[in-house]
Chains A and B, each alone.
Chain A
Amino acid sequence: MNGSIVQVVLFYLLAALALTGACLVAFSRSIVHSAFALLGTFVGVAGLYALLAADLVAIVQVMVYVGGVLILILFAVMLTARVDEGKESNPTVGKIPGLLAMLAMAGLLVVTAVKAFGPRTVISEANPPSTVSPIGNLLLSKYVLPFEAISVLLLAVLLGAVTIASGRMRKGAGGKQEGEAPR
């Protein structure tokens, strides 16, 4: 019983963290603040995964999103010019229609979730079994085709990133590339 109360409290804390982070990302005037607020969302979501006994997904969430994606976003934001001018970097446009669309969408999704999946409390067992090895087995059996296809996708994306970035870098290094159209 005590364990379940702790879990419920944790759930609300983590959900609040994720939601506050998301709101800050959307409403913050400065894109730097938005980028940092994303940390709250990612960590909160990772915590929710952990509460649901999805240990691998939680770890991946922290390692990939917090450790990789977020850092990358921060680098990109910090390297962007004119980042300090709040209005310049993160302006809000179309407040009223945006708010209406958001409310409609949120209402629809909340009603759907409540009606279809009901208010049920999911309390995980005290010591849930690890999901790492079942996921590993599935990846190399049932899901082997998507798993392999992703490698081709990553190859393409890697190549594409180099293609798009290399020209800029070379130009930045002194514009040795001839025939480059001026911006």
Chain B
Amino acid sequence: MTNMGASLFAILPELVLTGAILVVILADLLLKARPGRPTAVAVLSCLGLVGSVAAIAAVPGPGAGTSAFGVMIATDGFALFFKGLVYFAAFFGVILGLMSSEIRREQYGEYAILLLCLAMGMGLLAAARNLLMLYLGLEMVSLPSYILTGFRRGDRRSSEAAVKYVIIGAASSGLMLYGFSLLYGLFGTLDLTRIGMGITRLLAGPPTGEHLALAVATLLSLAGFAYKIAAVPFHMWCPDVYEGAPTPFTAFLSVGPKAAGMAALLRFFLTAFGAPVAGAVGGFPWQVLLGILAMVTMTVGNFAALNQENVKRMLAYSSIAHAGYMMMAVAVGSGDAVRSVMLYLPIYLLMNTGAFLAVMAVRERTGSELLTAYRGLGSRSPYLAITLTVFLFSLTGIPPFAGFIGKFYLFAAVLKAGSPFFNVVAVVGVLNSVIALYYYARLVRTAFFEKAGEGEGAVALTEPSRVMLTVLAVPTLILGIYWGPLASLIERSAGMMR
């Protein structure tokens, strides 16, 4: 058992996180009703997450000897990058939860613990290289998500959203499992790499009934991923869940699980199908299928967002659209495309969490999520209005902000694919960005150019909100101008895929 230590290092982030979960549970129990309990729980949770991010650095790369867990989870740069990203998303989720009055103080411990478990699930999902691990990761993300969506007990919208989420989640899990079982039946293995070899072999031979089974299996597997990243046609849960769930959790949900799902989708298609096979005419038109899904997803998301009066709901539809933009690049599947998704997600994490934080701040003060609550926000709370504008314009993808860089790389990767089909996809993407400008700008216009109604006084920002808004807005601005370090980190990470 000489490599036992090395093997354990491969799952060090998970080990740290598990330790953190246990410590937080104990702390939450021991502190009982002390006034400082939520803060202590939050500090411990954040320390655990930061420790896990730090532990990622200690994970030996795939070249450093075999690991006992290597057959289940990848330790390549791609996996580690996404692990870090989703832990950061959970970090913001923990902090936002502490600031929100939607999470009751005596329940905050459970909220934090569930978020930590979710973080672990997301990390496993992003790194899974075995269908069993992949499915387990997916459920580890889904089950705590259902609970956290229905966290506001006694709130009808919250409960209804949770039930819808469970039903759609269970249905897509079932479809995905059926697909996996077909894959196992075809290739006799759950290992993605070996499935990839099997697919290459199968596609090289003459067409048989097994080709059909492969097509059906992939279609069904895709259902599970589409549900996790809220892509059409598995997006129906998204607006209701985003609206009904507590806002800090919505902020997290729109980013973390989406990033993990995107990572799993990329790995699934790139490892099992491989970009060259996917492009082959004799093979399956997966690229076309994903490309069409991407176009439909962004179009549905953007058009539905146009006339939403509830800002949270609008952001939900906008997040569907963003999943569509990223799926464009997933469809291309080239090295550039993978890197562009990896660049887009951290930026999306900052701007989308920021936008939801602003929604949360307005809700804390006015008790409303409707567009009308934002009237005259520019004078009622200038700082909030300005940072909200930064996040919204960044989400649109307007130049000096980070969102522009992210979108630029996405579109560049799609255009680089060179085929007429992907040119069409890119044009649809650009048109969609223009549509998106309308509803983001509408919110900005409401905030700055509409007069506040009677009795709508100043929205006083609490000090933590101000700090967090700054923490999210400053990188959104800086990354728009100086994204070199992030890009080079991604360059290094993506180079290690597999």
User: Of A145, A156, A161, which one neighbours B11 at CB under 8 angstroms?
Assistant: A145
Minimum distance in angstroms from A54 CB to a CB of chain B: 13
- With A149-B140, A153-B139, A163-B110 already in contact, the answer to whether A118 and B151 are too (CB < 8 A) is no
Partner-contacting stretch, out of A11-19, A92-100, A105-113, A123-131:
A105-113
Partner-contacting stretch, out of B205-213, B324-332, B397-405:
B205-213
- With A112-B216, A156-B117 already in contact, the answer to whether A144 and B68 are too (CB < 8 A) is yes
Residue B49 CB within 8 A of the other chain = no
User: Of B114, B136, B212, which one neighbours A160 at CB under 8 angstroms?
Assistant: B114
Residues of B within 8 A of A87 (CB): none
Residue A157 CB within 8 A of the other chain = yes
C-beta contact mask, A146-160 vs B, less than 8 Å → 1, else 0?
Answer: 100110110111011
Residues of A within 8 A of B208 (CB): 115-116
* B140, A153: Cβ atoms closer than 8 Å: yes
Partner-contacting stretch, out of A44-52, A56-64, A174-182:
A174-182
Residues of B within 8 A of A146 (CB): 72, 132-133, 136
* B21, A152: Cβ atoms closer than 8 Å: yes
Residue B309 CB within 8 A of the other chain = no
* A160, B73: Cβ atoms closer than 8 Å: no
How many of chain A's residues touch chain B, expressed as a range?
A: 35 or more
User: Of A109, A118, A144, A161, which one neighbours B209 at CB under 8 angstroms?
Assistant: A118
* A116, B136: Cβ atoms closer than 8 Å: no
Residues of A within 8 A of B143 (CB): 153, 156-157, 160
User: Of A112, A143, A163, A171, which one neighbours B132 at CB under 8 angstroms?
Assistant: A143
Give the nearest-CB partner of A156 in chain B. B117
A140 CA to B365 CA, complexed, in Å: 53
A156 CA to B18 CA, complexed, in Å: 11
* B133, A115: Cβ atoms closer than 8 Å: no
A126 CA to B347 CA, complexed, in Å: 61
Chain A interface mostly: helix
Give the nearest-CB partner of B10 in chain A. A145
* A116, B155: Cβ atoms closer than 8 Å: no
Q: Which residues 132-162 of B sit at the A interface, judged by CB distance below 8 A? A: 132-133, 136-137, 139-140, 143-144, 146-148, 150-156
A149 CA to B143 CA, complexed, in Å: 14
A53 CA to B118 CA, complexed, in Å: 36
Residue A142 CB within 8 A of the other chain = yes
Minimum distance in angstroms from B249 CB to a CB of chain A: 13
A155 CA to B22 CA, complexed, in Å: 10
User: Of B68, B136, B182, which one neighbours A150 at CB under 8 angstroms?
Assistant: B136
* B153, A111: Cβ atoms closer than 8 Å: no
* B154, A167: Cβ atoms closer than 8 Å: yes
* A183, B147: Cβ atoms closer than 8 Å: no
* A116, B21: Cβ atoms closer than 8 Å: no
Minimum distance in angstroms from A163 CB to a CB of chain B: 5
* A159, B110: Cβ atoms closer than 8 Å: yes
* B21, A163: Cβ atoms closer than 8 Å: no
* A142, B140: Cβ atoms closer than 8 Å: no
Give the nearest-CB partner of A167 in chain B. B153
Residues of A within 8 A of B120 (CB): 149, 152
A36 CA to B457 CA, complexed, in Å: 59
Residues of A within 8 A of B152 (CB): 181
- With A145-B72, A146-B136 already in contact, the answer to whether A164 and B104 are too (CB < 8 A) is no
Residue B122 CB within 8 A of the other chain = no
Residue B186 CB within 8 A of the other chain = yes
Residues of A within 8 A of B140 (CB): 149, 152-153, 156
User: Of B113, B154, B213, which one neighbours A112 at CB under 8 angstroms?
Assistant: B213
* A115, B72: Cβ atoms closer than 8 Å: no
Residues of B within 8 A of A149 (CB): 14, 120, 124, 133, 136-137, 140
Residues of A within 8 A of B153 (CB): 164, 167-168, 180
A153 CA to B25 CA, complexed, in Å: 14
- With A117-B185, A144-B68, A179-B104 already in contact, the answer to whether A156 and B212 are too (CB < 8 A) is no
Minimum distance in angstroms from A47 CB to a CB of chain B: 19
* B136, A164: Cβ atoms closer than 8 Å: no
* A180, B186: Cβ atoms closer than 8 Å: no
- With A116-B212, A144-B68, A145-B69 already in contact, the answer to whether A153 and B121 are too (CB < 8 A) is yes
- With A108-B216, A145-B133, A156-B144 already in contact, the answer to whether A164 and B21 are too (CB < 8 A) is no
Residues of B within 8 A of A111 (CB): 212
Residues of B within 8 A of A171 (CB): 154
Minimum distance in angstroms from A114 CB to a CB of chain B: 8
Residues of B within 8 A of A164 (CB): 147, 150, 153
Minimum distance in angstroms from A137 CB to a CB of chain B: 14
Residues of A within 8 A of B144 (CB): 156-157, 160
A162 CA to B106 CA, complexed, in Å: 13
Minimum distance in angstroms from A74 CB to a CB of chain B: 19
16 new A-B contacts at CB < 8 Å, known A149-B124, A152-B21: A112-B209, A112-B216, A116-B186, A116-B209, A116-B210, A117-B185, A146-B72, A146-B132, A152-B18, A153-B117, A153-B140, A155-B21, A160-B147, A160-B148, A171-B154, A181-B155
Can you show 20 pairs from A to B with CB atoms below 8 A apart? Answer: A109-B178, A115-B212, A116-B185, A116-B186, A144-B69, A146-B133, A149-B14, A149-B120, A149-B124, A149-B137, A153-B117, A153-B143, A159-B113, A160-B110, A160-B146, A160-B147, A163-B110, A163-B114, A179-B104, A180-B153
Which 9 A-B residue pairs are closest in the complex by CB-CB distance? A115-B209, A116-B213, A160-B147, A156-B117, A167-B153, A181-B154, A145-B72, A116-B209, A163-B110
